[in-house]
Structures are given as structure tokens and as C-alpha cells.
Structure 1
Amino acid sequence: MSTARTSARRATGRARTIDAALLERWPLPDPRGCGSKEERGRVLVIGGSVQVPGAAMLAGIAALRAGAGKLQVATAAPAALSLAIALPEAKVMGLPADRDGEIRLLGRAGAHAAAHARAVLLGPGMDPGIETRRVVTAAVTAAQCTVVLDAGALDLRALRAARGRRGDASLVLTPHAGEMAALLDTDEAAVRADPAGIARNCAQSWKVVVALKGAVTHIAAPDGRMWINTAGSVALGTSGSGDVLAGLIAGLVARGASPEQAAVWGVHLHAKAGARLSRRMGLVGFLAREISAEVPGLMP
């Protein structure tokens, strides 16, 4: 038995397995009650760079596929025009970039957008570093809503600084084992040895929702509740797949789901979409851009 499956079996007694029965008891907000796209919520994705502009696009499309009503994307200025052309459903704004094409400042326009969004996603396509930390701190501070931190935005210093300014405002973290190891200044082996315990401890001590990704994904809430997803597909381990998952979670938050519900449903939908594609296309080889299109048909 794999290490991941063994961990899942040990965690079952302390966590709820994500299955049809659980989701039926925890339905997503009914979109039929929304009279307009504004009522389904606005998502702001802050991410991408000159070298990786597609990460923000993958996340943004996923947010719309999850049912968000409006999409804004803030990315490095040199990549903004090409992204706007590739993603006509979104309002795209260019943020100041450094010589390497990375976002270096949120700026007034970015802060204004964060303050008026219903969900903010930070980090897809961004590298960790001082400038990213500055952008993350500014965006989390400006936002009046749930913020999803992914990829380059998973920075412990930024998390602590922003938490000090925001109090108990909701944050969702979506690290894989390597990113969680970096957050804890440990190695991946330590994270893989006890993903359930680490996810729960971090969620409680940092007062965030944690979705610790892997062959088995562990989702932990600040109050100690935990859910596990064992329905993942090996084919989901492909470039850009994590950007899609983060976008799904942000889109569900924009629709009115709580942070922990959005994480649970987002992980479930992501896994089921991968399973569908694997049955149709093969065990490996489908692209991250193809995952989101499966999602609308999987939602009740």
C-alpha cells in the first residue's frame, strides 16, 4: 500500500471522507437565486509573469467554470495585452513588473480591485521572493473578502504580516508537500509522513483553511474539522493543474460558499474532472487547460 493511501486510512477516523453523501448534505449555493452576474460574485486573480502568463489564465477560467459571475486578472504589465486577448471574458490590468517580468507592486488599481472583489486569488505563476511578499501583503490587507493563497504567494512572512492587519478575515492556503515544507522550514519527507497532522496543526495555529494537496488531499479548518479526498488521478499531476484547483476554490467562494466548503468542493470537482478525462483520454496526457471544462457538468 502506498504511503499516501496508508496516511488516508489512518486519518479516516479523525476526518470525514469527501463522498457523495457528504456533498449532498453540504450543497453549494443555488445559482438560480442569482439574478445577475454581479450576484454570483467577482473574482480577482493576481498572478502570472512574462514567463508564465498562462497560470493566471488557467486559474481565471477555472473560477468562471466554477460559477463566478465576473473575472478580473491583474498580471505583469508586459503580459497584460496578450492575456487580455487570450481571455476575453476578463478585465485584465497590468501591474508594475521588474526586469525579469515578475509583478513587483500591487499599486493603487490593484488594491482597489482587491477591495471590491468577493474572492481574491494570489500566486499562480508568481515566484516567491521579496517583491512577491510585498504584493501578497498589500493585496491581503486591501481585500475585504476571502483570499486564496497559492504557489508563489505561499509565504509565511507575508501570511503573518497580513494576518496582523486583517484579524480573523478568511484565508485559504493550497500548498503541495514541497510548498508546505518550505512554509515550515522542513523537508518534504516530514510533510509526507504526517500530512493530516500538519494540515490540522497549521490550520489551527495560523487560523486559515489548508488544502494540503497530494495523491490524498487533506483539507483542514481552523476549528479542527478535517476532510480527506482519496479520489485523485495520477494524471492531475500535470503542469498548471494546481492553478486550476486554486481558481475553482476562488470561484466557489465568489458564489457564496464558505472557505472550507469551497476547498472541499473544489478539491472534489478537480478530482472528478481528472477522473473523467482519464477515462476518456487515458491515464496520463491530458492538459490542465482541459480540466475546467469538465466542471460545470459535475456540479449539481
Structure 2
Amino acid sequence: MPTPALQPAGSGRLPRPRALTEALLSRWPLPDPGDHADKETRGHVLVVAGSHEMPGAALLAAIAALRAGAGKLTVAAPERVAQGLALAIPEARVMGLAETRGGGFAARDCDRLGPLAAQVSAVVLGPGMLDEARSVAFVRTMLPLFRESTVVLDAYAMSAVGDTPFDQPVVMTPHAGEMAHLTGLSKEAVLDDPLATVLAAAQRWGACVALKGSTTYIAQPDGSALRFAGGTPGLATSGSGDTLAGLIGGLAARGAPPLHACAWGVLLHARAGAALARDQGTLGYLARELSAQVPALIHALGRRSPGKNAARRG
């Protein structure tokens, strides 16, 4: 549900965002579990996503989380699509949850997920959800159960925002239209001043917020921000955002702090699109093809990171 219209906090000149580049990420190396780590060490990600109309959103987010390096995957999806997802993702444990009449997640079934809280490092919540109002009730019931996990909110799950900040690690991934819906601003106002909008949103909700677009802005509650202008037109395609949410969740499951997971996810997503554009052309590649590019990209970036050995020792 949209909250009352958001206004940028404070007055005067906005802070200048840092450029999100490979050089910056080299100072934020991803946690390296080492050569002898098992799947538990690499982190467990829970993807709660999908609907009978958009089961593919859960599939895209789940595969992306594994491609980002998470060691274990659990997918929770509406009952009528769970079996299909289990067959499509043999690497995952898949749970079928009760649905509302509108095809969303029923809050009464949150208790079934509670026992996973002690095991899960990160949660991706929202891709492909239906029935916004009842899905919000589900999300608000679920969040306290996973207070110790980094939670990536996408699509309708983001509508669980309120007037008070989250009291747990949260990453949000709205595009301009979703940000307008969440804040009460017009889409034009969001596009006219994306930096001010994302800074105000991050401060208001106490979350790391990535405002997606041809230029993506990432803001933190402390007023700091990143700017990334390296996307490609082909990324504007169905399922691309689901893939990004899964990448961020997988990186967070590995142990990356929310800002680092978000920044790495945004850059890897864009570089995967650029690789496909070189091979296939600027437009027409599919969101399902993005994730397969990611492991090699992480490997290449990691080799250039001066902090790799330090991350392994940590």
C-alpha cells in the first residue's frame, strides 16, 4: 500500500553519489568461503515468490541466487505452482504455501517458514506476487520471523513499507513506477529528481534502496549514495528485475552486507547484459540468460580484487 507522499529529507545541496565501478567493488570483496567450504558455509537463501500467473519470477530469482554463489536454496511458492518449480529447479527444496483467492500468499501459512529462520542467511521476497493487499499482510507477518536475515524486498512485497523504518537489514529494488506507487509521488517527479527521491526513501524506511533505471541510484539510510550508469537497453525486459533481486539475495546469503550485495548485484546484472548484448545484439536476449553469465563475471572481478585474500582469512 502506498504511504503518504514522501518528501526528500533535509534541505540544501544533496550529497554527490559515488560512482559504482569495478574499482569500488575491488575494495568491497565478496566473502570467500575458501577452497574447502561446504554448502552451509556459502549461505542459505530463501526465495518466497511467484504466483499462478507468474511462476517464472520465482524460477528466475531462485536460479540467480544460486548463480551468485549461495550454497543452499529453499523456494516457497503458491501451492498450485510449487510442483512445477520443484521439477524446474532440482537444486532447491520447494515448499507449497496456501494461497489467497487472488493468488497471493496467505499470512496464516507464515508459521511454516518460521523454522527456517535459524538457517537462512538471506530472503528474497516478492517477485511475481499477486494480490497486493493480502501479500502485504503476509510480508508483515513474515519479516519479524527473519529479523536476523538480510531481506530483499521486490515487487508487491515492497508495499509493506510504512511510516517507520525497518528494524532489520532490508534491501529494496523499485523502478520509477514502483517508487511512485510506494511514495505517493508522481512517476514524473521520481524521474525528475531520482537522487533526492531515493535518499529520502532510504532514510524514511531504514533500508538500502536501489532505484532502478537507465541510471540506477543506490542509497543508504545514512545519506550516502552510489550512481551506476552502465546498464544496457536489453535489460529492460520481463524478468530482469526478478533476476536482479535473486542476485542480491544470493550475494547477501554469502555474507555480503546489504550495501555491498546490492552494489555487486547491480553491476553484475549490468555486465551480464553487456556480455549478452555483445554476443546476441542489443535487444532480444532473455532475462533467463543473464544468470549464466554471473559466475564468470564474479571470478574475473574477484581476481582483480586486492582484498580477496583478506576476505578469505575473515
> TM-score of the superposition, structure 1-length normalised?
0.91
Identify the residue that residue 67 of structure 1 maps to in structure 2. Answer: 69
What secondary structure is seen at the aligned counterpart in 2 of 1:132? helix
Q: Pick the aligned partner of 2:149 from 145, 152, 162.
A: 145
Hey, what's the Cα distance between the residues in 2 that align with 1:26 and 1:295?
Answer: 17
Deviations 1:123-157 (A, max 9, x none): 000035221011111121110211110011111xx
Q: CA 1:34/1:188 → structure 2, altered by over 3 Å: closer, same or farther?
A: farther
Hey, what's the Cα distance between the residues in 2 that align with 1:87 and 1:73?
Answer: 9
Hey, what's the Cα distance between the residues in 2 that align with 1:57 and 1:94?
Answer: 14
Hey, what's the Cα distance between the residues in 1 that align with 2:73 and 2:149?
Answer: 15
- Show the 5 A alignment for 1:92-131: 92-105=94-107, 106-127=109-130, 129-131=132-134
The residue type equivalent to 1:91 in the other structure is R
Identify the residue that residue 235 of structure 1 maps to in structure 2. Answer: 234
What secondary structure is seen at the aligned counterpart in 2 of 1:140? helix
Hey, what's the Cα distance between the residues in 2 that align with 1:148 and 1:34?
Answer: 28
Give 5+ residue unaligned stretches, structure 1. 1-10
Identify the residue that residue 30 of structure 1 maps to in structure 2. Answer: 32
What secondary structure is seen at the aligned counterpart in 1 of 2:130? coil
Deviations 1:174-205 (A, max 9, x none): 00000000001121101000111111111112
Hey, what's the Cα distance between the residues in 1 that align with 2:172 and 2:36?
Answer: 28
Indicate conservation of the 8 Å contact 1:47/1:123, yes or no.
Answer: yes
Deviation at 1:277, TM superposition (A): 0.3
What secondary structure is seen at the aligned counterpart in 2 of 1:32? coil
Identify the residue that residue 175 of structure 1 maps to in structure 2. Answer: 174
The residue type equivalent to 1:151 in the other structure is A
Indicate conservation of the 8 Å contact 1:114/1:120, yes or no.
Answer: no
Is 2:20 the partner of 1:18? Answer: yes
Hey, what's the Cα distance between the residues in 2 that align with 1:50 and 1:201?
Answer: 35
Hey, what's the Cα distance between the residues in 1 that align with 2:22 and 2:88?
Answer: 36
Deviation at 1:266, TM superposition (A): 0.3
What secondary structure is seen at the aligned counterpart in 2 of 1:36? coil
Hey, what's the Cα distance between the residues in 2 that align with 1:292 and 1:139?
Answer: 27
Identify the residue that residue 213 of structure 1 maps to in structure 2. Answer: 212
Cα root mean square deviation, aligned: 1.8
Deviation at 1:18, TM superposition (A): 1.1
Hey, what's the Cα distance between the residues in 2 that align with 1:284 and 1:261?
Answer: 29
Equivalent residue pairs, number? 285
With CA pairs under 8 Å and 6+ residues apart, which has the higher RCO, 1 or 2?
Answer: 2
Moved more, 170-179 or 19-28: 19-28
Is 2:291 the partner of 1:292? Answer: yes
Identify the residue that residue 273 of structure 1 maps to in structure 2. Answer: 272
Deviation at 1:20, TM superposition (A): 2.1
Indicate conservation of the 8 Å contact 1:127/1:151, yes or no.
Answer: no
Hey, what's the Cα distance between the residues in 1 that align with 2:139 and 2:267?
Answer: 27
Hey, what's the Cα distance between the residues in 2 that align with 1:37 and 1:48?
Answer: 25
Deviation at 1:269, TM superposition (A): 0.2
> TM-score of the superposition, structure 2-length normalised?
0.87
Deviation at 1:32, TM superposition (A): 1.6
Moved more, 284-293 or 222-231: 222-231
The residue type equivalent to 1:138 in the other structure is T
Identify the residue that residue 6 of structure 1 maps to in structure 2. Answer: none
Hey, what's the Cα distance between the residues in 1 that align with 2:198 and 2:35?
Answer: 34
- Show the 5 A alignment for 1:195-214: 195-214=194-213
Between the aligned residues of both structures, percent identity stands at 50
Indicate conservation of the 8 Å contact 2:15/2:223, yes or no.
Answer: no
Hey, what's the Cα distance between the residues in 2 that align with 1:219 and 1:258?
Answer: 14
Hey, what's the Cα distance between the residues in 2 that align with 1:101 and 1:211?
Answer: 27
Identify the residue that residue 53 of structure 1 maps to in structure 2. Answer: 55
Indicate conservation of the 8 Å contact 2:102/2:130, yes or no.
Answer: no
Indicate conservation of the 8 Å contact 2:45/2:65, yes or no.
Answer: yes
The residue type equivalent to 2:277 in the other structure is S
Deviation at 1:27, TM superposition (A): 1.1
The residue type equivalent to 1:127 in the other structure is L
